[in-house]
């Protein structure tokens, strides 16, 4: 496993991270969740991503239980705040009240005194950014949070936050968590160029397009039993169109020539962007974790990148206005 700095911050994260959206406390049982986390540690993954909202807190609880007894300094733990975690008016968003309360609830569920990275899951246009950033700053000063990040913020929103942080003497955002894959290139136009200049690293979600880029969904065929495609929500409808699935199958010869799996090819593709600090993968089985880590250290040459672009043509989404979706 190779490790990269989280933007310009000193902390190092594994190029392949393990996230637990949909899986822990949801699609998979606690034993499978534990096996995936154990496989992750075996393979050198040190970076875990979750959120207060995943399975209404259950995902954090399962991860916290699984990490119990593991030396705290041996891993980097990230969680998030924004989406609704309860039924009342203050149970969502980026107000000082919700940030502080949700952080305390996350620490409880994760059974830890601090999270390494605390992220604003979305931008909150109803709260002054100064209020949000001061609440995050207070958590940093209290030692409950080590670094601050954002998810699905536009370049303009990140830029505004940096200006305020500099004016107020707050710690700066170190990471941005956008969706990014061969099929979703939205951050390339604005977010990545700004972040590269400002020393902010991308930790990208759904790098396998929710499993589609592994090639296991075939056009005109029923979805593999037990996969996310049969689990209900979780995969963008456009990713499962025959047109997309056919194009994805056409990537297989490239993976075969390189002697790697399609999952490895897809993950190596996102890691090819130097502003990406980590690809946050999901997994329902430990074998998937063991397969996905093989992407660390794989370099794709310009010819391979170009062939991928030609095969996918106009299918990838690129419009920066889709940020936050």
Ligand X SMILES: NC(=O)c1ccc[n+]([C@@H]2O[C@H](COP(=O)([O-])OP(=O)(O)OC[C@H]3O[C@@H](n4cnc5c(N)ncnc54)[C@H](OP(=O)(O)O)[C@@H]3O)[C@@H](O)[C@H]2O)c1
Which residues lie across from 262 on neighbouring strands? none
Stretch of residues binding ligand X (CB under 6 A), selected from 99-107, 191-199, 202-210, 236-244:
202-210
- Tokens at residue 166, please? 């500099």
Draw the binding track, 142-181, toward ligand X (x: CB under 6 A; -: no contact).
---------xx------------------------x----
Encode 14-29: b = buried (16+ Cβ within 10 Å), e = exposed.
Answer: bbbbbbbbbbbbbbbe
Q: Which stretch binds ligand X (CB under 6 A): 39-47, 90-98, 274-282, 296-304?
A: 274-282
Residues 9-68 that bind ligand X (CB under 6 A): 19-21, 23, 49
Q: In whole angstroms, how far apart are CA 262 and each of 111, 215, 217, 288, 306?
A: 36, 6, 12, 12, 16
Cβ nearer to ligand X, comparing 18 with 139? 18
Q: What distances in angstroms separate CA 303 from CA 184, 208, 254, one per listed residue?
A: 20, 21, 11
Catalytic residue among 54, 75, 118, 147: 54
Helices 155-168 and 191-198: crossing angle, nearest 10°? 30
Look up residue 170 and give its DSSP letter. Answer: P
Active site residue 217: no
Nearer to ligand X, 123 or 205 (CB): 205
Q: Pick the closest to residue 272 from 303, 248, 299 (CA basis).
A: 299
In sequence order, which residues have a C-beta less than 8 Å from that of residue 118 and are 6 or more positions away?
78, 79, 80, 81, 103, 136, 139, 145, 147, 148, 149
Under the binding rule (CB under 6 A), the answer on residue 284 touching ligand X is yes
Site string for ligand X, 212-251 (x = CB under 6 A): --x-x----------xx-----------------------
Tell me if 165 sits within 8 A of 133, measured CB to CB: yes
Show the site string, 83-122: x = touches ligand X by CB under 6 A, - = not: --------------------------------------x-
Q: How far is the CB of 93 from ligand X (least distance, A)?
A: 15
Q: Which of 107, 208, 245, 277 touches ligand X by CB under 6 A?
A: 208
**Residues assigned a catalytic role:** 54
Site residues, ligand X (CB under 6 A): 19-21, 23, 49, 121, 151-152, 177, 205-211, 214, 216, 227-228, 263, 280-284, 288, 291-292
């Amino acid at each position: 496993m190779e490790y990269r700095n989280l933007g310009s911050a000193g902390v190092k994260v594994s190029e392949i991270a393990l996230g637990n959206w949909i899986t822990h406390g949801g699609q998979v049982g606690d034993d499978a969740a534990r096996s995936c986390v154990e496989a992750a540690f075996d393979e050198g993954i040190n970076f875990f991503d979750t959120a207060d909202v995943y399975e209404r807190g259950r995902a954090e609880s399962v991860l916290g239980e699984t990490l119990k007894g593991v030396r705290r300094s041996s891993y980097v733990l990230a969680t998030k705040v924004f989406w609704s975690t309860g039924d009342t008016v203050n149970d969502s968003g980026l107000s000082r009240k919700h940030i502080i309360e949700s952080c305390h609830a996350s620490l409880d569920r994760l059974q830890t005194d601090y999270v390494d990275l605390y992220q604003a899951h979305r931008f909150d246009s109803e709260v002054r950014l100064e209020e949000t950033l001061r609440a995050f700053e207070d958590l940093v000063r209290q030692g409950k949070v080590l670094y601050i990040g954002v998810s699905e913020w536009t370049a303009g929103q990140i830029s505004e936050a940096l200006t305020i942080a500099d004016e107020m003497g707050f710690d700066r955002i170190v990471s941005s968590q956008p969706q990014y894959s061969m099929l979703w290139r939205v951050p390339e136009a604005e977010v990545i160029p700004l972040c590269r200049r400002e020393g902010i690293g991308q930790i990208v979600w759904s790098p396998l397009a929710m499993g589609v880029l592994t090639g296991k969904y075939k056009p005109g065929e029923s979805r593999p039993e037990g996969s996310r495609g049969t689990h209900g929500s979780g995969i963008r409808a456009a990713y499962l169109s025959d047109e997309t699935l056919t194009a994805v199958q056409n990537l297989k010869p490239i993976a075969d020539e390189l002697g790697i799996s399609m999952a490895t090819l897809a993950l190596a593709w996102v890691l090819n962007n130097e502003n990406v600090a980590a690809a946050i993968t999901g997994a329902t089985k430990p074998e998937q974790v063991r397969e996905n880590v093989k992407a660390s250290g794989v370099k794709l040459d310009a010819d391979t990148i170009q062939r991928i672009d030609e095969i996918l043509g106009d299918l990838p989404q690129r419009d920066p206005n889709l940020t936050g979706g």
